[in-house]
Each structure stands twice: as structure tokens, then as C-alpha cells.
Structure 1
């Protein structure tokens, strides 16, 4: 197929989704998904019927106003550790020094004596004591300070009350969002929200623009309209600072309002008693309009990538809020190796520290034939269904790094479970103004899978910074997503791999708060092949082998599978493509480095994809 110069939206598989919007308009105000035949389209309330959206940050621990139970551990040998009476005397003495012992004025004007009771010895060797009245934060801090000042005290703390951590938003349609909640086939978002909600992160959505929507407005930062061609723009002007979506209808095909649906998955306002939840609901969405009637030009998309990541574009004011994450739920036929403009734009964005997430495409084909799915330095996302299996329409292959819920119209479960629910509009051509036009729409496609991952990346970056860690690099994010993925419920058929599984938001966010190992290389043993290596162009896999003294030779090899890899090796340090001791870079995967009389120690092997590769093995023999 001839490579197109216009990039078409890969978002939804079925035009019936939007065509059905009119049928839903009559029932949408009831706030429940009405029954339909065929494709489900939209549901929810008109935005004006619900409370105004508010930004909510759920606290992982309840803030206690008062404390009457304290845990104290005295060091071994201390007098207070040997008997309850000595313990109570020590606590009473600390309370006296803190000024909280004796008579205390009560709210009703009466006075009560402060008493101390020994409750029990804990399994960790500490003692639990209860006071006869509750102490406020100031008094509790004073008591703890006096206890901790005693050199015989190992530690002292309140006996905190902890709450269940899973955050359940009150958005009415959250119950239909299986793609967040299901522990086997969803992304496990509730557990991730206990750690991070995307605070401080901007996600640029390069798409059809956005609509005003009561369930999104509070989380939108200014974007830009990059469509220069008036016929494509459909808004009567060229490039400008208004990224609103005027509609992309064409003939009898209705408008998709695709960008609004994608943006809602990333960061719909959440816990506002309205509509749906977003993956990173305290992040900000930056709408960048690149798709209009018939799609969008590569030239516009490349400029938008540069601008969204903080680069400069002639004739366009610089971006005041550069994005940490870019989502592109779009694509076109033709490999990225023939699309240098897009690749250069992506490389520049990644060089500025922006993570680029892209949809794999909906052609049930190898993603290597599509751009930007086959570009270097991106995280390409395939789609999974409610059954935890590969969605039949999703592109696949070694370019796909990870999968996420995209919906599956062939599922045999309840039809409500087939769809990815997010934001939409009642209009079929031009949008109906908010709040009257606000709707909730079910769609399927890798366009729906990609923003799940973009939202998870926002959670990861937010969590890392909150934990005092540096922002993650694109390579680190990709590695964590793959290493923490939920395994497939149903493994993809041979030759149709879509990464190691479904993105696990909870595990990925936890990993983002940990130290990244300086030496992440996987160990390999003598004469034990490591099969099944796969990756996209530029992906690098690191291994290490420990060679004992007295060996006459060391043979490091890659072989088998498809694609083209190169092999870089170094002794006692991690090699790179610019810093190595030896390399093998022949066409194909049969690479070998032979070292005579190797010194005893650790040898590192870096396997780098020159093209996409799959089912490659690495082997060390000494």
C-alpha cells in the first residue's frame, strides 16, 4: 500500500459509535447507559445536573485530630522495659515534663485526671499504653518529644488509625470502567491512586482538539491548533491558540470528537459525583489539535510534537507549560524508517525529557508497517479486551512495548464491558455547547489503550518526584512498564505478541518510587541460553556473566529469531554503543565476540536492536 502523507486517526473501529449519539440523546439525562442494539455510544447526565467538578487528592492515611494510644519501645536492659509498673512511671514522668499530666480542663468545664494504662506487649518488643483522655496534636507531639529524649527509648509513636487505602471515586459511571478496576484485565488504577494521582504533570494530547466538558474543564491547560490547511481544519482559520474541536465530520460520517474521549481517559475530573474517572485525574491535559477533516498532515504533527515538548516552532509562541508526556492516538501506513520528519520530532522531544506514548493501530497487522508505532524512542501500546486477551483488531509485533485496555467488540461478556468509557458530545457534526452537549461515550481501539498508558506514565512521574527521585527517562519508563506488566489471561497467538502483558498502574507507580539500579543487567549462566528476546529499533537489553579464573576463552553470542541486532561487550563496566571493548554488528542476529584467556570477573553484554527483533537468544560459553 502506498505510504500516505496524511496521518489518519486510529482511534475507533466503528463509525456507528458516533452515529448512535442521536439515539442516546433522549435517554442520556437519566444517567444510566440505555440499552441499544449494535454499538453502544453514549451515556450519562447533562453536566449541569451534577455538582461542579472539584480537584480531590485522596489521602492514603486519615489525619487524626487526637490520640490516646501510644507505642513505646525501650532498649534492652532499660528499667522501664522490665515491668509494667516501671513503664507506666516512665511514661507518667515524660507526660509531666511535657505539661500534659495531672488535671486537664474538659470541654464541659470539668477536670479529669490523666491516667496511663498498660495495654500489652507487642510482638516487636514494644509496649502499647492508653491514656485516660485524648491528646490533641500539640500535646501528643510534646509527650512524644519527651519520650524520645530519653536515651533508653528506642522509639515512640502514636498508635495510628489506618484506613483502607483503595480509593473509590464517586463518579456515577466509574462502575462501568472495568478497564481501571479489574485486577486481572484492567490497569489496577485504584491501588496506584493511593500513591499518586498525577499532580504536577502535563500530558499533551495530540489529536482532534478538545471540547468544553464539565468533567474535563478544570484539568485543561492552554494548547494550540497546529492545522494549517483550512480544508482540514474545518474551523475557518489556520494555526492559532484555540485548540477546540469544531468537528471532523465528512459527508455522512459524523464527528468523532476523538480528542476529548482520549483526554478524558488521561485526566477526566474525578470524585466529583459526575460521569467518569480519569487515570491521572490530578494531572493536566494540554490539547494540541493536529487532526481534522480527513486526518492530519505529518508536517503539522511534527511541529506539534516539538512544541508540546518545549521546543520552538516558527510563527508559534513557545509553550508556557511543556508536557512531560505526549499521547498520540493516531497513525498511518508506512514504516517510521520512511518518516524521518516524525522520527526527528520524536527524538527532539525525548531529548527534552518528554515521554512519547503512541497507539499501535487497529489493522490487526504488524506494527512495523505503521508510523509512529514503529518509531524509535516511543512507547507503542497495543489493545486488550475485557477477557484479558489481545484485542482482535490491535496491531502487534516487537514494536509493541506494552498493552492496555482498548475494548473488544467480540467479547462474549455483557456488552457494557466491551467498551472504554470516556467523554463525548451529543453533536453529530458541530459540537453542542457544554453543558447541554456533554455526554459519555463508549469506544474501542488502540486509541483508547494509549491514553491509559500515558496516564500511568503521568502517575509514575508524579510518584517519582514526590518520593524525592529524579524524573524518569523514556528508557526507564519503558523498562518499568514491561517489567511490571500483568501477564496475559489468554496469551496472544504465535507471531502476534503485544509486549509482556497489560499495564499494571499500581506496580509501575510503586517501582517509580524506588531507586533505579545502577546495574540492571540480567545475569546469565555458562552455557544456559536466554531465549525470547524482543524489542523495537534502538531498544537495548543488558546482560552480565561472571567468568571464573583460569578459563581459556569466552564466547558471547546472539542468534536465532527475526530482525537485526548488534552486540556490544565490556569488562567490569556497562557498555554503550559509544563506549565498549568489543562489538559484533553484522546483518541479522548471528553476532559473536570471542575473548581469548579472559580475565576473571564480570563481562557485560548489550544487545541493541538495529531493527525490530523477536525470539532472539543470547548465550555465554566459557
Structure 2
């Protein structure tokens, strides 16, 4: 098996028909701004370009401005106030808030062609929040005023824009590559062939929340039923709203071709392998559940939140329950604004994690701190940065304490760059609508953190299958994250201290092996009396566990965190591991300065858990008994 898969990765694809689609810069990480103009499609065989193929233009990654206008908002009432969140009540509350915000009077109308601001109730989300559509887009200042008025009501749990999120990549136009170095390169790859000696991902379902999927000879057998969650027909482009057909009709905008992004991502997760066709998937015996959330111009946060709930086994009104809930969710998408500004996404992720589902997300391609993007900065996720063939951080990749690990995402800077600067997976020869399979089947090269994330999602599937085959219980999302971080390969070129990307590049073989081993329940780091442990760093939701053994006869015990940057809370428990849901004492003030003092402590072991309310760095932990 190992020998044949290596032959497939390194040799068989040299004779496959491939397509190098023209590069285009997506609206990744931002709102609905149109993408720059792109070139035409170039098709090629192993022997050269197809006769008559059009010439190609190359457009590389480019920054897109943050979403400037919002015509949809999401409002969630406190659970105790749900009777106030009936559609008519919500409409009345939003209209009243708009009036107080100065958005409906004569002055407001004067600047908008005398159009009245009308509010329509769109639907209730699975999280309990309501989506409302405004008759005109509000600029950032108007939106902030409206939301401030809504948030002033103590019965409102949160109010936020219904952000548009985007896929995180672009497509190159180079017709020929040495494919899948990202699995096999000794220092820059994930060492997939060695992992396959232990696990193929059998029995694991990976939900890919993306543009949907295409019928493709190298993927069809690994697809399980998904769903199309795009509610707005203008975004969906298939004319039928939400339904059980998750096929990708194309996401073209203006002159830009369709990306077929979801199929590329799905192929990295679980393309068929050792079948003499196409490329290999990381977890080629796993199943992909395509969940369509991105269409023309991106995808609404409200649709993505419902899709996260459904994919993880939760209930969404009006949608049949998921017959095959996923163990892993991949989100190769994102938008500007931290997760603290996107509570509906955090709430959906919290539900997924509570159901035992590991959520893997792309860090983003803005060469910026991932803490300023969602869902990259959400609690409980595994945020993935990108690296290139040189084993270094990709030039476009987001970074920061929020990034848990790094995986191959490519590092090309030009459409004529060498083969091994791209990530290759499945695609289609169509430019707008896809061409039917098999004649439309192609391989496509892309770069982006969108390509890094499914590598990790596939590795998680390998880990879960390996744990089960070893007779162990499924790994929790926290255990998955800890094992991935603890088994990485070092960077060939270490990122600068100002742009960290986690401890290294994911090592599939080492992570799979670790998943088969017993995981100790008591993993706390031992604190010595009056000796601080410095340098604690993590993402929002990450926990660092410590323990201190207190002798008999002590008058007091002081447990504290301090210094560094970010925001943490501490949780304390006696003779058991402390968590945010199981503790005896806690301290949860803004910042990193937290303290719990226990008078006349009983002799024994006290556990202290430091949990990131946001990303944190350089925090010290201290225990003092006397």
C-alpha cells in the first residue's frame, strides 16, 4: 500500500489531463467587493496546450477592502426573553432602534433618494437568532448606530451584521506541475504515506462547508449526502434556495471564472487513492459531506452558522436532520472582524464542539493577525496557517497567537512559478457552469490557507480512525488540537517572532501515531511554591492546565496569572481537573491579571486552568501557599 500510493503521488499523475485555470484574486476575508478581472481558462494535456486554447492573464493575490455596507443583521435575545423574539416583536424592535439611530427621519432619507428604510424578517436560525433584511445597505457608521441601539436592550444577547464571508485562495494558470509535494516532501510535506501505514480515515465523515461539490471520477465514491444552505437565490445562483442538492453550479462574478473551490478542498481531504486516476486525498477512505454555503459574492454568516449546526448533528428548522453527522468540519472561508464581533458563528461552533466535532478553519490570506478575522479567531477551533515548499511561512498567510498549526498552502508569487509552489487537487474545465463528468474533470492548482486547512481536516480524520482502530475512544476536539501541536515538524525557516504560526508544520504520521497511544487524564504542569511559569501563549478558547500540591497546615493559597497580553480567565478545582464547566472557584476579569485566594486550604492537589477569552501571549502563572 505504501509503495503504490507513493507511486501515485509522484508518478502516475504525470500522464493525467490537467487544467491550469487563470489566477484571480478573491474577495477572501472581506465582504461583497467584486474581484479583480481575471484571465481566461487554459487547458493542457501532458504533452502541451490544447490547440486553440485562449491566452491567459495572471492576477495574483490582492487585498480587498473590508465590507463597507450591510443590508442584513442578526439579533439574538437572551434565552429568558425568547417570547420577545417573535418575528413581529423583532421587527418592531429593529424599526424603533432605526428611528432612535436617526436612520428613518427626513435627514436620513435625504441622502438615500428618499427611500424608506424597510425591515423584513428573513428567518430564525438554529441558534435561536433572527436574520433581518434591510431595504438599503447601511454604511459602517449607520450600522454601528443601529446595532448600538439594539444592544442597549438588556434582553438582547447580541446584535451583529450578517457578514459576507469568502473562500480563501486563488487559482493559478500554470498547466503542468509536479503534484503533491505537500504530502511527501521530507521537511515541508505532511508525511502522508507514512501515516497511511496506520490509517486511511475509514468511517470518518468530514463536512466541507464551501461552494458545494462537482461530480468527479476521483471523488464520487467518497461523497455522502450533504445540503445546500444558501438561502438567498441571488447568492446561490441555482434558483432554488435551500435544498438537498449540494452540487456547485459555479460562483463566477462578472468576468471572473468559477473557482469550484469546494471540490478542490474536498479532493485534498478525501480524493480516491490508489485507483490510477487523478490525485490522492489525505484521508482517502473517509467520506466528504459537501455543505454548500458559498456562492456568487461569497456566503452569509447566517447560512454558515446554520450549516455548522446541521453538519455537527444539530437541528435546523425546515431542514431534515443530518443522517451522517460529521466528526470533522472544514471551513476554508473567512471574513474581516474578530469572532467577538461575530457571536452567531461562535455560538454555532460552541454547539459543534460540545457534540464532539473538531472544527478546522483557514487562518486567512491577508498577511495579518488572524485574531482580527472570523472564524479564524473563534474559540474551540483549530486555525491553520499556510507554508510553502521551502518549509517557511507562506508570504500571504495570516499569523498570530490564534494560529494553532501550519500546513502546506503553497507559496507562488507568479503564474509562471515552478510546479511545486502550488497545491493541486480536483476541479473542472468549465469557466462558469461546470462541464459534466468525466469530460469536465480536471486537476487544478491553487494556493491559500484554504488549501492548508483541508490538509489538517484530513489528518484529523486519519487520527480519529486510528484511535478507533486501536480500541480507544474518539478524541475530543481539545485532544486533537493538543496532539497536532505536540507532534509537528519544525519550520525549515522559523517565522519571525512578530508573525508566529504555531509550533510547526503538521506531521500526519506523528499525529496518527499519537492518536493510537493512551492519553493521560492528568496532564497538568506542576507548579512549585512561589516559582512562576512564564510564557503561556494560546488562542481564544485554548486552556493551559497546572497543578500545585499543598501540604497540610497552610493558612492560604494564592493562585494567579499576570503579565503578557490578551485576556484570560482562571478556573480552580480541588482534587480534579478544572475546566470552564467544572470548577470550584474562578477569576474572570478583563486582561491577564487574575487571582483566586483560598483561606485554610485542605491538603492535596489543586488544579488551575488558564483559558483564553481571546488570544493571549507571554502570560505567567504563579502559586503561593503559606
Distance 1:16 1:189 in 2: 35
Deviations 1:511-565 (A, max 9, x none): 1112221101122444543332122222211012345667776543322211111
- 1:562 equivalent among 560, 565, 587: 565
Tell me if structure 1 keeps the 8 A contact 2:328–2:358: yes
Q: How does 1:480-495 map to 2 (within 5 A)?
A: 480-495=483-498
- 1:504 equivalent among 500, 503, 507: 507
Partner residue of 1:193? Answer: 196
Partner residue of 1:613? Answer: 616
Tell me if structure 2 keeps the 8 A contact 1:407–1:444: yes
Distance 1:360 1:345 in 2: 18
Partner residue of 2:356? Answer: 353
The alignment partner of 1:449 has SS state of helix
Tell me if structure 2 keeps the 8 A contact 1:405–1:452: yes
The alignment partner of 2:404 has SS state of strand
Deviations 1:19-74 (A, max 9, x none): 6673234657899xx9x999699xxxxxxxxxxxxxxxxxxxxxxxxxxxxxxxxx
Q: How does 1:36-435 map to 2 (within 5 A)?
A: 176-410=179-413, 415-435=418-438
Distance 1:507 1:322, change over 3 A: same
Deviations 1:118-157 (A, max 9, x none): xxxxxxxxxxxxxxxxxxxxxxxxxxxxxxxxxxxxxxxx
| Runs of 5+ consecutive residues of structure 1 not aligned to the other structure | 1-6, 42-172
Tell me if structure 2 keeps the 8 A contact 1:17–1:443: no
TM-score of the superposed pair, with normalisation by structure 1: 0.71
Identify which range, 195-204 or 180-189, moves more after superposition: 180-189
Partner residue of 2:444? Answer: 441
Q: Which runs of 4+ in 1 moved over 6 A?
A: 15-18, 28-31, 36-41, 411-414, 549-552
| Runs of 5+ consecutive residues of structure 2 not aligned to the other structure | 1-25, 61-175
Distance 1:521 1:22, change over 3 A: same
Tell me if structure 1 keeps the 8 A contact 2:410–2:448: yes
Q: How many residues align?
A: 479
Identify which range, 478-487 or 578-587, moves more after superposition: 578-587
Distance 1:38 1:521, change over 3 A: farther
C-alpha displacement of 1:187: 1.1
Distance 2:288 2:384 in 1: 19
Distance 2:422 2:209 in 1: 22
C-alpha displacement of 1:491: 1.7
Aligned CA RMSD, in angstroms, stands at 3.1
Distance 2:415 2:492 in 1: 15
Q: How does 1:7-26 map to 2 (within 5 A)?
A: 9=28, 22-25=41-44
Deviations 1:371-414 (A, max 9, x none): 11111221111111111111121111122111111111259997
Partner residue of 2:532? Answer: 529
TM-score of the superposed pair, with normalisation by structure 2: 0.71
The alignment partner of 1:238 has SS state of coil
Distance 1:550 1:299, change over 3 A: closer
Distance 1:422 1:282 in 2: 16
Tell me if structure 2 keeps the 8 A contact 1:224–1:288: yes
Distance 2:419 2:203 in 1: 33
Distance 1:412 1:178 in 2: 18
Deviations 1:175-230 (A, max 9, x none): 62111112321111111111110100111111001111111111111111111211
Tell me if structure 2 keeps the 8 A contact 1:332–1:370: yes
- 1:602 equivalent among 580, 600, 605: 605
Partner residue of 1:96? Answer: none
Tell me if structure 2 keeps the 8 A contact 1:10–1:447: no
Partner residue of 1:543? Answer: 546
Distance 1:215 1:602, change over 3 A: same
The alignment partner of 1:179 has SS state of helix
Partner residue of 1:114? Answer: none
Distance 1:372 1:216 in 2: 27
Distance 1:338 1:496 in 2: 23
